[in-house]
Amino acid sequence: MKVRALALRILNQLRHDKRTLALMLIAPIFLITLVYFILGDASTTVKVAVINAPENYIQSLEKNNVIVTRASESEARAALEQRKVVATLEMLNGKSTIEVDGSNPTKAKLALAAFEGAKASTNANMTTIHPDLRSEVNYIYGTDDLSTFDNFGATLIGFIIFFFVFLVAGISFLQERTSGTLEKLLSMPLRRWEIVTGYVLGFGLFTVLQSLIFSWYCVYILDIMMIGSFPLVILITLLAAVVALTLGILASTAASNEFQMMQFIPIVIVPQLFFSGLFDLPSSIQALGRVMPLYYIADALTQVMLRGSAFSAIASDLAVLLGFSVLFMLLNTQMLKKYRRI
C-alpha cells in the first residue's frame, strides 16, 4: 500500500507539471523528427551557375541532383558571393573554369563530382565535350582540404558560448530569486527595467571575458581557420553572449527550480543547433531557423571566419541579434510583474 501511495503521488505530481510532461512526450518527438530530416534523405541537391556549356552537358548535371542556373559571368560571381550557388562553370576554348565556394566542403565536393560525372556522361554520348578538356578549379572561399573542424568550428564557437552563458545566467538568476535577493531588490525604489539592466551589465562583464578568452583560444591555439577580422569575431561572440544572457534570465523567470531550468535546454537550445546551418535541412524547415538567434550567430561567424567578410556583410545579422537582446530584455521586464508591480 505504501508503494502504491507513493506511485500515485508521483503520477499526480507529474500530471500537474505540464512542463515536465511536454519535455517527456513532445520534446523527444520533435528532436527525432529533426534528425529524420537530416539523416533520412541521403540525396543532396547542389546549386551551380553555368556561364557557358553545351546543352547536353547541362542536362547531365540536372540528372544528378544539380540545380543549374544559366547566368552571365558577373551574375554567376555575384550568386557565388551571395551563397546562392556553390560553384560556377564556364567552358571556353577547350578549357573549363570552375570557381567553388569551399566554405561548405560537402556541397563543394558534390558539385565537383557532378561536373566530372557530367563530362564523362556526355563523352559517352558522343558530344562535343572531349576527354582532354582541361579543368581549372579555383576556390574563392575555403580550400580543397578544409577539415571538418574548420568547417563546423565557426558554428560551434557560437553554440558553445551561447549554451554556457544561457545555462550559467539562468541558474544564477534563479538562485537570486530563491535566495531572496531579488525580493529585496524589488522592495527598493527601483524600476523593473533598472533591475534587468543591472543584471545584464553585471553578468555582461564576465561574458566579455569569456568571449575574449574562448575566441582567442579557438583561433590561435586550436588554429581554426580564420580568414577575416578577429575583432569582428569578438564582436559577434559578445552579441551572442548578450542574447544568451537575456534569454537565460527570461527562462529562469519561468522556472521554479534548477531542474525546471535544465528542462529548457532540449526545448530552447538543442533545436537551435539543428537550425543553425550546421546540417542540411529542407528549405521549408530550414526557414524556421530565421526566428532563432543561433542561426544569425552561426551565419555571421561563418562569413567572417571562412569567407573573410567585412562588417557590412554581417551588419544585418548583428542588427537581428541586437533586436533579440532588446526583445528579451523587454520580456524580462514584463515577467518581473508577477513578483511585484514597480
**What per-residue confidence (pLDDT) applies to 210?**
86
Q: Which residues partner with 70 through β-bridges?
A: 50
β-bridge pairing 87-92 and 66-70: unpaired
Q: What is the CATH number of domain 46-141?
A: 3.40.190
Cell representation of residue 67: 540545380
Q: Which three cell numbers stand for residue 188?
A: 527598493
Name which of 302, 183, 173 is nearest 245 in CA terms. 173
Q: How far is CA 88 from the centre of its chain?
A: 25
State how far the Cα of 7 lies from the Cα of 11, in Å rounded to an integer: 6
Q: Please report, in tens digits, the pLDDT of each residue of the chain (342 residues total).
A: 667 777 777 677 667 667 667 667 777 787 787 777 776 655 577 888 888 888 888 888 888 778 888 888 888 888 888 888 888 888 877 778 888 888 888 888 888 888 888 777 766 554 454 555 677 888 888 777 778 788 888 999 999 999 999 988 888 888 777 777 666 666 666 677 777 777 788 777 888 888 899 999 999 999 898 998 999 999 999 999 999 999 998 888 777 777 778 878 888 888 888 888 777 777 777 788 889 999 999 999 999 998 888 999 999 999 999 999 999 988 888 877 665 544
Q: What is the pLDDT of residue 187?
A: 64
For residue 125, the number of C-alpha atoms closer than 13 Å in the C-beta half-sphere is: 14
- Residue 243: C-alpha distances to residues 146, 162, 166, 182, 292 (Å): 30, 8, 8, 21, 11
Q: Are 170 and 261 in contact (CB under 8 A)?
A: yes
d(CA 24, CA 16): 14
Which residues fall within 8 angstroms of residue 304, CB to CB, at 6 or more apart? Answer: 154, 227, 228, 229, 232, 233, 236, 314
| pLDDT in the model for residue 314 | 94
Task: Return all residues near 115 (Cβ < 8 A) that are at least 6 apart.
Answer: 48, 61, 87, 89, 96, 98, 135
Residues of the chain with CATH 3.40.190: 46-141
d(CA 296, CA 230): 18
What is the predicted pLDDT for the residue at 14?
Answer: 64
Overall pTM surpassing 0.75 (yes/no): yes
Q: How far apart are CA 307 and CA 102, in angstroms?
A: 9
CB atoms within 10 A of CB 165: 26
